[in-house]
Amino acid sequence: MKRGTLLWAAAVISQSLNPPAFAAKATTLVDVVSYDCQQGKLAVAYAKKASGDEYAIVEFEDKTIRMSRLIDRSEPVYASMHGDAGSYRWREIGKIGVLSWLGPEAEANEKVLYEQCRGAPPPVKEDKTKTP
C-alpha cells in the first residue's frame, strides 16, 4: 500500500468515528511506518485523536485492517473487532512488532502471522543548504 492510501484511510477513519457536527473539531495525528518482517513487509498507520483514542490501520497481503488500542495494557496492543469471527492483534514490544490472529473459540491459540517486524528507518533527507 502506498503511503498516500494509508493516510487517506486514516483520515476516513478519523471522520467516520465522529458525528458530522464534531468532525470539524477533531484533530488526528497520523504516523505511517513500514515494517520489514520475517514473513514479508507490512505497513501501519497509527492515528491518535485529540480525545486520546488510538488506532492502527495495518495493511498486509492486500488486506487493510482497522484496529483499536486496548487501553488496559502496559505495552501497545491493537485489536480488530470482528465480533464472533475472531480478531487480528498488532503488538509492539520495544521496537519489534508482531501481527497475529486470535480465533473466536474460547480455547483458541493466537496464531502469529508476521513476527520480528522492524520499522524501516525514515529516508535520509539531503541537506541542500551545505556547499561541497
Residue that the C-alpha cell 473487532 belongs to: 81
pLDDT tens column, 44-85: 999 988 888 899 999 999 899 999 998 877 778 999 987 678
pLDDT at 40: 93
pLDDT at 50: 84
Instruction: Provide the CATH number for the domain around residue 91.
Output: 2.40.128.200
2-6 long-range Cβ contacts below 8 angstroms, 24+ apart: 3/32, 3/43, 5/59, 6/32, 6/43, 6/45, 6/57, 6/59
66 in any annotated domain: yes
Range of 4-13, 81-90, 94-103 with top mean pLDDT:
94-103
For residue 93, what pLDDT band results from cuts at 50, 70 and 90?
confident
- Flag whether the pTM goes above 0.85: no
12 in any annotated domain: yes
Residue that the C-alpha cell 486520546 belongs to: 52
Q: Span 87-108, mean pLDDT?
A: 87
44 in any annotated domain: yes
132 in any annotated domain: no
48 in any annotated domain: yes
Domain that holds residue 9: 3-119
| Domains identified in the chain, total number | 1
